[in-house]
Amino acid sequence: MIALLRRDLRLAVRAGGGFGLALAFFLIVTILVPFALGPGTGRLAQVAPGILWIGALLACLLSLDRMLALDHEDGTLELLATAPLPLEGVILAKAGAHWLTTGLPLTLAAAPLGVLLNLAPGGYLWLCVSLLAGTPALSMIGAFGAALTVGMKRGGLLLSLLVLPLYVPTLIFGAEVARRGAEGLATGTPLMLLCALSLGVLAAMPFAGAAVLRINLR
Amino acid sequence: MGSLWEYANPAAFARMVSKVLPLLSCAALACLAAGLVWGFFFTPDDYRQGATVKIIYLHVPAAMVAINAWLMMLAASLVWLIRRHHVSALAARAAAPVGLVMTLIGLATGAIWGQPMWGSWWEWDPRLTAFLILCLFYLGYIALWQAVEDPDTAADLTSVLCLVGSVFAILSRYAVNFWNQGLHQGASVMRVGAVTGSDTEEKVSNIFFAPLAVSMAGFVLLFLALVLLRTRTEIYRRRLRAIEARERMA
């Protein structure tokens, strides 16, 4: 499982892996927001936590269909399915690699981008904490979606239609933590709910993902 | 009359549907006509809401059927995953578009009622939002059915999606509750509970409730009739495809 994780990380970082794409997308979305909403700093500060969360979520979504599609095309996935490692482990490793190459960089990049949107000074810490707690859930749910649509024509569009409704609770709690943090309110309750959601998803989703992957590889 | 599992045989199921369907559709039509005409023309206007209250006879039954259609799909998906009865998978497939239309009716009638009552077509109220999310789940479910060509794979994938989706739909239902309270403290306009859900039955006087109950029965019967009809159509379609495949082989 560790070996698989390492392999995915190496593939992602090397040429053609599309490692920086999600980050660049996040940056561009954040830059486009002031063009749409106007440069008024007060208004930007108000919407900054939500916009950053939406941007991170979309950037996460963008790289999902690469998670399993490439391995499906060259037959790696069939080999992995017959390997001694259970498919649940494969899904977990894939989601882990996706998080390390997308979720974690997004979390780190969110603070500098917060400056662009005039995020309130108290909000940076909570924005990063909420993304740190929430992006693993995004990657894990995304792994389920990727396993569901692997090998389908028009899989990318279908993937977003299937995955985005599943992202709703994570987005609500995550953005709520960031917003309350920025406004200087107590963040305990939504943060706990967000962590609970992430842990629950991490515990349960590998089984659902492996189940649909088995069906798709049948 | 044997056990319910007898109808896992598609031929037995189709025979049963042919027998039951005329009865069921007549009963649905009769209940709908009676409930709606009674509700629209023979009940007094509400003293505060005026005539707009009468949309309740469409809104509440549609919303009820929309939620229960998903529950029925969940049960059918479980039956398919556990006992591998094809009729069950087809019934889940047949129910999804009906449920989607019911969701849309619920949303549309709610908006039409909300415009004069709340002064806006749409509010990000938890109930409304949860319903919109349910609508998205229906869309994804239907899209997945259409994207997969092999029928058994499609049935398996959609069943798992239905299970996972149910968990997330419930999560979303309570998450939006939380989110809305966080945003609009003490919102007092949105007394949706006064129109939909359980406290209707307690607060609405019998004069409104009797036609509502008839109308609800009509919607449930209509749902059953449509699902049975669509399931039978799916069975026939699959049989046709099998015959075609056999002809090509010969």
A28 interfacial to chain B (CB closer than 8 Å): no
Check residue B193 and give its pLDDT: 46
DSSP B33-66: HHHHHHHHHSSPPBTTTBGGGGGHHHHHHHHHHH
Domain of A48? 2-216
Mean pLDDT of the region B148-176 = 90
Residue numbers of A between 156 and 195 with CB closer than 8 Å to B: 158, 161-162, 164-166, 168-169, 172-173, 176, 179-180, 190, 193
pLDDT given for residue A115 in this prediction: 87
* 0.90 surpassed by complex ipTM: no
Give the residue-averaged pLDDT of B47-58. 76
Confidence band of B180 (pLDDT split at 50, 70, 90) = low
Query: What is the Cβ-side half-sphere exposure of residue A120, based on CA atoms within 13 angstroms?
Result: 17
- pLDDT over 90 percentage in chain B: 48
Question: Which residues of chain B from 138 to 197 reach within 8 Å of chain A, CB to CB?
Answer: 139-140, 143-144, 147-148, 153, 156-157, 160-161, 163-165, 168, 171-172, 175-176, 178-179, 182
Residues of chain A in contact with residue B164, where contact means CB-CB under 8 angstroms, are 144, 166, 208
Tens of pLDDT along B30-51? 999 998 998 888 877 766 667 7
Is the CATH number of domain B16-249 3.30.70? no
B132 Cβ under 8 Å from any chain A Cβ: no
Contact: B175, A149; criterion CB under 8 Å: no
Contact B238, B151 (CB under 8 A): yes
Q: Is B165 close to A166, i.e. CB distance below 8 A?
A: yes
**Confidence band of B206 (pLDDT split at 50, 70, 90):** low
Residue scoring higher pLDDT (B188 or B98): B98
Cα B5 to Cα B1, B86, B92: the distances in Å are 11, 12, 16
- Does pTM top 0.95 for this prediction? no
Of A161, A168, A208, the CB nearest to B143: A161
B-chain residues near A190 (CB < 8 A)? 178, 182
Return residues 206-235 of B near A (CB < 8 Å). Answer: none
Nearest chain B CA: its distance from A192 CA (Å) = 13
What total number of domains does chain A contain? 1
Query: What are the pLDDT digits (tens) for B1-23?
Result: 467 788 888 888 999 999 999 99
Say how far apart CA A31 and CA B170 lie, in whole Å. 35
| Shortest CA gap A201–chain B (Å) | 10
Chain B residue with the nearest C-alpha to that of A161: B140
Q: Per-domain residue ranges for chain B?
A: 16-249
Measuring CA to CA, how many Å separate A149 from each of B20, B143, B167? 38, 11, 20
Question: How remote is the C-alpha of B184 from its chain's centroid?
Answer: 30
Residues of chain A with pLDDT under 70: 15-18
Beta carbons of A169 and B175 less than 8 Å apart: yes
CB-neighbour burial class of residue A217 (10 A; exposed 0-12, middle 13-18, buried 19+) = middle
Task: Kindly list the residues from chain A whose CB atom is less than 8 angstroms away from the CB atom of residue B176.
Answer: 168, 172
Residue B50 bridge partners (DSSP): B46
Q: What is the pLDDT of residues A111-126, one digit of tens each?
A: 888 888 888 888 888 9
Interface contact A168-B156, CB threshold 8 A:
no
Per-residue model confidence as pLDDT tens digits over B92-147: 999 999 999 999 999 999 888 888 877 778 878 788 888 899 999 999 999 999 98
Report CA Rg, chain B. Answer: 20
Q: What is the pLDDT of residue B40?
A: 85
